[in-house]
Amino acid sequence: MKLSEDTARIQEQLGKYCRTGKETKIPGVTPGRLKHYRRLVNNVVRDVLDSGYPITLASLGEELWDELVQDFFVNGQPGVPQIWRLPYEFYTYHVAKETGQRIEKLYLDDLLYFEWMEIEVYNMPDRPFPDYVKEGSALENRLAFNPEYEIIRMSYPVHMYAAAEAAGMKGDYFVLIFRSPDTGYVQFLKLSALNVYILTRLVEEDLPAALLKGDIAQVTGIESGKFMDEALEKFIAELMEKQLILGFRKE
């Protein structure tokens, strides 16, 4: 139901006060209570962001982290109704402001993105799982993939090293982030660019790996012989162990 103009205006005034702390008269609010509203809202925002970004908090330290949170709280304009998505708005706000550049933490965008993606994958809507069987051939049968995953690309390996160490290792890094079908917990797996290509082709083409060996060989320059078979089988076995591959598609 659409709010009346008066109600919408009062909500906007209250939200502005909670962000900025600038005193204002708001109809229906008892004088002296505004500061309590602001404190409660501030605590909720801080708790959500602290919980969403524990690695970033530890990397930056309390003082600098508090500066980033307060900047977002005062100047940001959150537009999503779900409180669990607040960390995403925090991430996009600081990317847009180039905060990482300003505070000389060039890895900041990647670290915020990485931690946000853990939240997003954990909370993603359930995706339909394919029908599958456990017995089959890694190369000759179509594979049944866990659909609840994302692949992200980063410039700093914050998923592998402490942020201070990762800061000196700029490059191209790929991470598979997926939700375990047994526990619902989020897991991570580092991937090479070749791994990303193979995985993407297997999922998109929905063909047995044996039928893609020629394309893979052409891209990588690896002959599609015994070495190729062993490399593919090893990669597929690793994905099965991690439950990114559930088994083999029912034919």
Q: What is the DSSP letter of 227?
A: H
Provide the pLDDT for residue 22. 56
Spans of the chain below 50 pLDDT: 1-3, 6-8, 10, 14
Q: Tokens representing 75? A: 């100047």
228 contact partners, CB below 8 Å, separation of at least 6: 213, 216, 217, 222
Domain boundaries, the chain: 5-105, 132-249
Locate tokens 């060039």: which residue?
A: 106
CB 14 within 8 A of CB 37: yes
Summarised one tens digit per residue, pLDDT across range 24-50 is 655 555 656 565 566 676 788 899 999
Give the span between the Cα atoms of 225 and 121, in whole angstroms: 37
| CB half-sphere exposure, 110, CA atoms < 13 A | 25
CB 87 within 8 A of CB 119: yes
Provide the pLDDT for residue 216. 86
Provide the pLDDT for residue 3. 45
Stated as kind and residue range, the H or E segment containing 151 is strand 149-154
Q: Look at strands 149-154 and 186-191 and give their pairing.
A: unpaired
CA 9 to chain centre: 35
Q: Which CATH architecture has domain 132-249?
A: Alpha-Beta Complex (3.90)
